Amino acid sequence: MIMEKAASASKQGHRRAPGVDIRPGSVREARLEAGLSLAKLAGANLSRGAIYLIENDRARPSMATLELIAARTAKPISFFLPGGQDREGHPEGGALAYLLDRLYRAGDLDAVVGHAERLLTSSEPRSEALAHLWLGIVDLARQEPQSARQHLQESRDRYRSASNPWRAAEAGVLEATAAAALDHVDGLLLTEQAVAESRSLSPASGPLEARAMLLLGLQHVARSQLDAAIQALESAVETATTWSRPATMVSWHESMATAYQELGDQSCAAEHQLKAWALRELTDVWALAASARQHLARARSSAGDQEGAIGDYRSAVEHSRRLWLDAPGQAASLDLADLLLDRGDADAAERVLRAGLGDAAEGQDRWETGIVRALIARLAAIREDWATADREFQRAIGLLEAERDGDRLIDTVVRYAEHLEARGETEQALRYWKLVARQQHPNLSRLVPDS
């Protein structure tokens, strides 16, 4: 497996790594204007080689690297972005919108305002729309709803004029938030309009719809309209839960990037692509953590530390379930149930099977279904439910035989043969021992007849 991944990585060696698209020559231009050498620009945080590769368009900087370069050359981020040749203007770029989001989440509201106010000097509708959007967001955070509403209304109108329905809808939800904070009579109407607008988007925006429904529910609560509030809040919960899967959000950001590309809005397309990359990388790290925990459990089990292994398996299952990581969660659940059955803890094994593998036996993956059937059979055998044990062992053997999983098949057949022997059904047991022999020594199969 490791060699396969290494070979795959070697084949992909010439593929450009994800990063921020920058204007060709902009880093070298900024460095020379600032009178900096490669070493001076690199400083202690970067290498001269990295700067050289970025300058020659052989590597793309991360947002953090671009921020360092901008700070050391005293240039705004927009100087380095595609379309940033006009130094008096600061066009909206995907990376700039992403930077504003990062600064806001870090709590640096003054920096957000500074970037937004510079954008207002561009006289470019989309840049002005982005500036008003972020100025409104900052005003909301600072509890200045009157100013926020003015900025957000400007943003919404400009985005509509620029044929950007998703950003217009986002500004509309935020404008309704400001109106609600002001307790204006039109707050509820604006919120209902924002809900309708968010639901009309294609591709849909689940997070925006959930936010609009939450706001609607809160306004109904404030008016003591509890039935309407419960209905709106239930919808918010359902929508947010559906969209909380990392894979769903990655897919959504990629769909949005495609939609913006088709509209010719490369800056918004770049912003969503950046977010998709970041989410995909984070999801990979989460999956890695779950996988590492599962392998740690296997190592503890092999070393005889059964209690430690069970704890690690439970952690891997819970981690995967909390982050909607289906594959790692299923694998850890299978291993955990297997270990619990080896210990004879049928009740705990059944809880794991019900919680993590309830629908697996009805799924489309025959290999996984075969393993689940074998676990159910062992559970039934421990409880001496022989009718269920016989049925599930036979189903598992058929599925694993069809999937050609020799090791799993042999383990399952041996367990079934041992159960049959213990019940005194020697003829049936002999039939399955012969199947084991054929699996272990296929060249001798002609010497081991079926009956």
Nearest to 401 by CA among 380, 428, 373, 377: 373
At 198 the pLDDT is 93
For residue 187, what are the domain limits? 93-244
Number of structural domains in the chain: 3
- What are the tens digits of pLDDT across the range 152-165? 999 999 999 988 99
Q: Is the pLDDT of residue 88 over 70?
A: no
- What are the tens digits of pLDDT across the range 209-264? 999 999 999 999 989 999 999 999 999 999 988 887 888 888 888 888 888 888 87
Domain identity same for 160 and 37: no
Q: Is the pLDDT of residue 16 over 50?
A: no
Domain identity same for 438 and 326: yes
At 82 the pLDDT is 66
Structure confidence at residue 144 as a pLDDT band (50, 70, 90):
very high
What six digits make up the tokens of 34?
């600032």
Instruction: Show contacts of 440-445: CB within 8 Å, 24+ apart.
Output: 440/410
CB atoms within 10 A of CB 200: 11
pLDDT > 90 in the chain, percent: 25
Question: Angle, nearest 10°, between helix axes 206-222 and 165-181?
Answer: 20
Does residue 235 fall inside a structural domain?
yes
Mean pLDDT check: name the lowest of 2-6, 138-142, 147-151, 180-184: 2-6
Last residue of a domain, one of 84, 113, 141: 84
Domain identity same for 190 and 79: no
Whole-number average pLDDT of the chain: 81
Structure confidence at residue 314 as a pLDDT band (50, 70, 90):
confident
Nearest to 447 by CA among 434, 428, 436: 434
Last residue of a domain, one of 194, 225, 244: 244
Higher pLDDT, 244 or 10: 244
Those residues whose C-beta lies under 8 Å from the C-beta of residue 99, and which sit 6 or more positions away, are 63, 67, 77, 115
CA 30 to chain centre: 36
At 13 the pLDDT is 37
Q: How far apart are CA 366 and CA 383, in angstroms?
A: 26
H helix runs in 182-222, sequence order: 187-199, 206-222
Domain identity same for 62 and 135: no
pTM of the model: 0.58
State how far the alpha carbon of 46 is from the alpha carbons of 43, 50, 60, 351, 389, in Å. 6, 7, 13, 51, 62
Q: Please tell me whether residue 409 adopts helix, strand or coil conformation.
A: helix
Q: Is the pLDDT of residue 183 over 50?
A: yes
| Longest pairwise C-alpha distance within the chain | 90
Q: How far apart are CA 29 and CA 73, in angstroms?
A: 10
pLDDT > 70 in the chain, percent: 85
Structure confidence at residue 192 as a pLDDT band (50, 70, 90):
very high
The answer to whether the CB of 180 falls within 8 A of the CB of 213 is: no
Last residue of a domain, one of 39, 66, 84: 84
Mean pLDDT check: name the lowest of 8-12, 137-141, 251-255: 8-12
Q: How far apart are CA 174 and CA 186, in angstroms?
A: 14
Domain identity same for 228 and 329: no
- What are the tens digits of pLDDT across the range 274-304? 788 778 877 777 777 778 888 888 888 888 8
Question: Which range has highest mean pLDDT (70-84, 246-260, 318-332)?
Answer: 246-260
At 138 the pLDDT is 97
The CATH number given to whatever domain includes residue 208 is 1.25.40.10
Higher pLDDT, 85 or 138: 138
At 87 the pLDDT is 34
Mean pLDDT check: name the lowest of 96-105, 186-195, 218-227, 300-309: 96-105
Does residue 270 fall inside a structural domain?
no
Domain identity same for 238 and 99: yes
Q: Is the pLDDT of residue 6 over 60?
A: no
Mean pLDDT check: name the lowest of 83-97, 117-131, 239-253, 423-437: 83-97
Domain identity same for 45 and 138: no
Computed from CA positions of residues 28, 34, 37, 42, in that sequence, does the dihedral angle turn out positive or negative?
negative
Domain identity same for 361 and 220: no
